[in-house]
């Protein structure tokens, strides 16, 4: 267990929410009943940067024993395998050494008192809004028989004064007031009247006015002509915040869900339990705010952070709701069909990845791309598509280390903002390459993730240039790392590891 004071623990570690390597490290400590001091850096970006400067490492966990940083989860397990972990902790206990050096203890105190410096992701989310009452009237309205049909004010009042879901009928005055509440909360709209004019309308003032519900009474995912839109069941009832703040708020909620339902070894997520939780219901409601945001005003860093966060949130949302794809064909459909409505337009995961973040590139799964004829294939968005104006150019290939597809070979989930984008993407790149780039000097071979094969052209023109870029920009092993040693030789081979598409689910691999 994690104790509450530095004097008790002889081991300390810096972690972040949703980090599978952090969970893996803590699983070993729990198994051995080792007390530790945990410091969560998820929202403490300034402290995270300071810790990085102190240790020279961007990744988490960062583990300290006897005031020395021993490394991360791999180093912790290596100490255990060599029988040195217990010895180091015993020596620290005998000497009365705290885990962190004095310089780092100050950062620990700052992180523990930090309310979060990710740009105010949750600030102002329906501030002052009565969400409890909103849920109450939404529940009442969901029991109405009108569905998507139009109705008059008298029809709604008549229903409420007769019976409502088995509850006692209300008075006529209460029914008229409820109708106005539904209109004020945008759960009901006036047919044929714009939003601005509708806000001035008083429920029932015009006997001829027709109304309809703005949510799916069946409470199911809405379908569009070419996929499933996961945030159309409820209209956001208050003024929408800026796009970056909304995206970070959603990602914060997803990270919290991941932290709650991630297995102790960090290898799987209990999607079934996640889908049943109250936190997930809160998240689903919050996604409706995306429909109101304006993404046209985003700067390049804001745009990349926004769409990376939205992509990752959508994958978790869809996997928890409808299950993960179980075959190659289902996978191709999954990422093209799951969607959010953002600012009035639909975006699938493929739209976000290839259309926005890859500069309106040709999807690698297209038929022509698969046979090596990408030059003849159509780009994700046509020139006339308004979404094409949002395409990020030039492409930052590190986005491939940030996008999480829900498979076991995917990078870990992270939170990005415009302010921490460079640090976040670089940290994601180094963490990914640390675990997915394997050098075997005896065989003169380097094994890479299939991501580098599928998206190699985003990184470099040739395979040789790709390896040079990985070694120069993404490999954190120092100037004399094994990859640089390999590349100094004249001959070497490159192998691409099979991508593990198994779902990171604690269940059977799919979720019905």
Q: For position 120, what pLDDT does the model report?
A: 37
In a domain, 119, yes or no: no
Whether residue 309 is found in the same domain as residue 373: yes
What range does the domain containing 190 cover?
131-213
**For strand 188-190 and strand 210-213, is the pairing parallel, antiparallel, or unpaired?**
antiparallel
In a domain, 264, yes or no: yes
Distance of CA 439 to the CA centre of its chain: 30
Cβ neighbours for 308, distance < 8 A, ≥ 6 positions apart: 357, 399, 402, 403, 416
Q: Quickly list DSSP for 400-422.
A: GGT---SBTTSPPP----TTTHH
H or E element at residue 65: strand 62-65
Judge whether 455 and 80 are in contact, CB under 8 Å.
no
Whether residue 393 is found in the same domain as residue 328: yes
Whether residue 389 is found in the same domain as residue 320: yes
Q: Of 159, 181, 213, which closes a domain?
A: 213
Whether residue 28 is found in the same domain as residue 135: no
Whether residue 187 is found in the same domain as residue 163: yes
Whether residue 405 is found in the same domain as residue 435: no
Q: Of 423, 440, 475, which closes a domain?
A: 423
In a domain, 435, yes or no: yes
Beta-strand ranges (E) seen in 214-371 are 222-224, 227-229, 338-342, 345-348
In a domain, 120, yes or no: no
CATH number at residue 172: 1.10.10
Judge whether 487 and 471 are in contact, CB under 8 Å.
yes
Q: Of 396, 423, 450, which closes a domain?
A: 423
Integer Cα distance of 417 and 93 in angstroms: 40
In a domain, 232, yes or no: yes
Q: For position 346, what pLDDT does the model report?
A: 95
In a domain, 123, yes or no: no
Q: For the segment 64-77, what is each residue's pLDDT rounded down to a tens digit? A: 999 999 999 889 99
Q: For position 327, what pLDDT does the model report?
A: 77
How many other C-beta atoms are found inside a 10 Å radius of the C-beta of residue 422?
A: 12
Whether residue 373 is found in the same domain as residue 239: yes
CATH number at residue 73: 3.40.30.10
In a domain, 121, yes or no: no
Q: For position 166, what pLDDT does the model report?
A: 46
In a domain, 247, yes or no: yes
Whether residue 460 is found in the same domain as residue 419: no
Distances (CA, A) of 115 to 50, 109, 121, 122, 330: 17, 12, 11, 11, 42
Q: Classify residue 507 as exposed, middle or buried by CB count within 10 Å of its CB (0-12, 13-18, 19+).
A: middle
Q: DSSP 3-state assignment of 31?
A: helix
Q: Which residues of the chain have pLDDT under 50?
A: 1-7, 115-124, 164-166, 168, 196-198, 217-225, 406-410, 503-504, 508-512
Q: For position 510, what pLDDT does the model report?
A: 34
Query: What total of structural domains would you count in the chain?
Result: 4
Q: For position 242, what pLDDT does the model report?
A: 87
Q: For position 4, what pLDDT does the model report?
A: 38
Integer Cα distance of 174 and 178 in angstroms: 6
């Amino acid at each position: 267990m994690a104790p509450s004071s530095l004097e008790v623990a002889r081991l300390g570690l810096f972690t972040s929410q949703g980090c599978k390597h952090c969970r893996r490290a803590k699983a070993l400590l729990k198994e051995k009943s080792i007390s530790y001091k945990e410091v969560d850096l998820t929202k403490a970006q300034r402290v995270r940067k300071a810790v990085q400067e102190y240790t020279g490492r961007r990744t988490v966990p960062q583990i300290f024993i006897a005031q020395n940083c021993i490394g991360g989860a791999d180093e912790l397990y290596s100490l255990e395998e060599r029988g040195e972990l217990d010895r180091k902790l015993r020596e620290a206990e005998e000497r009365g050494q705290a885990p962190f050096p004095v310089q780092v203890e100050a950062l620990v105190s700052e992180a523990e008192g930090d309310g979060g410096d990710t740009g105010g992701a949750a600030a102002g989310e329906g501030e002052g809004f009565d969400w409890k009452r909103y849920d109450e009237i939404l529940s009442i309205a969901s029991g109405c028989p009108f569905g998507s049909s139009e109705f008059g004010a008298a029809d709604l009042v008549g229903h409420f004064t007769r019976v409502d879901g088995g509850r006692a009928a209300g008075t006529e005055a209460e029914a008229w007031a409820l109708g106005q509440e539904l209109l004020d909360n945008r759960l009901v709209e006036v047919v044929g009247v714009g939003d601005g004019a509708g806000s001035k309308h008083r429920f029932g003032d015009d006997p001829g006015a027709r109304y309809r519900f703005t949510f799916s009474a069946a409470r199911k995912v809405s379908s569009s002509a070419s996929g499933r839109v996961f945030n159309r069941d409820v209209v956001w009832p208050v003024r929408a915040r800026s796009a970056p703040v909304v995206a970070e708020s959603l990602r914060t909620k997803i990270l919290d869900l991941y932290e709650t339902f991630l297995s102790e070894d960090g290898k799987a997520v209990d999607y079934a339990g996640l889908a049943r939780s109250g936190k997930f219901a809160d998240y689903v409601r919050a996604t409706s705010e995306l429909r109101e945001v304006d993404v046209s005003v985003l700067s390049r860093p804001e745009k990349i952070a926004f769409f990376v966060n939205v992509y990752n949130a959508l994958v978790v949302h869809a996997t928890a709701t409808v299950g993960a794809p179980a075959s190659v064909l289902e996978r191709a459909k999954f990422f093209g069909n799951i969607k959010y409505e953002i600012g009035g337009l639909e975006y699938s995961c493929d739209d976000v990845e290839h259309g926005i973040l890859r500069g309106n590139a040709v999807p690698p799964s297209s038929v022509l791309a698969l046979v090596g004829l990408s030059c003849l294939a159509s780009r994700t968005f046509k020139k006339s598509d308004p979404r094409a104006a949002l395409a990020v150019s030039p492409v930052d290939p590190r986005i491939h280390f940030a996008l999480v597809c829900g498979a076991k070979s995917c990078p870990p989930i992270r939170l990005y903002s415009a302010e921490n984008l460079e640090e976040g993407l670089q940290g994601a790149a180094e963490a990914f390459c640390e675990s997915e780039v394997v050098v075997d000097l005896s065989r003169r071979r380097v094994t890479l993730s299939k991501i580098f094969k599928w998206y190699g052209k985003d990184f470099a023109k040739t395979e040789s240039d790709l390896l040079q870029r990985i070694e120069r920009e993404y490999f954190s092993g120092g100037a004399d790392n094994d990859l640089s040693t390999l590349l100094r030789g004249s001959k070497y081979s490159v192998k691409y590891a099979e991508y593990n598409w198994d779902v990171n689910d604690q269940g059977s691999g799919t979720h019905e």
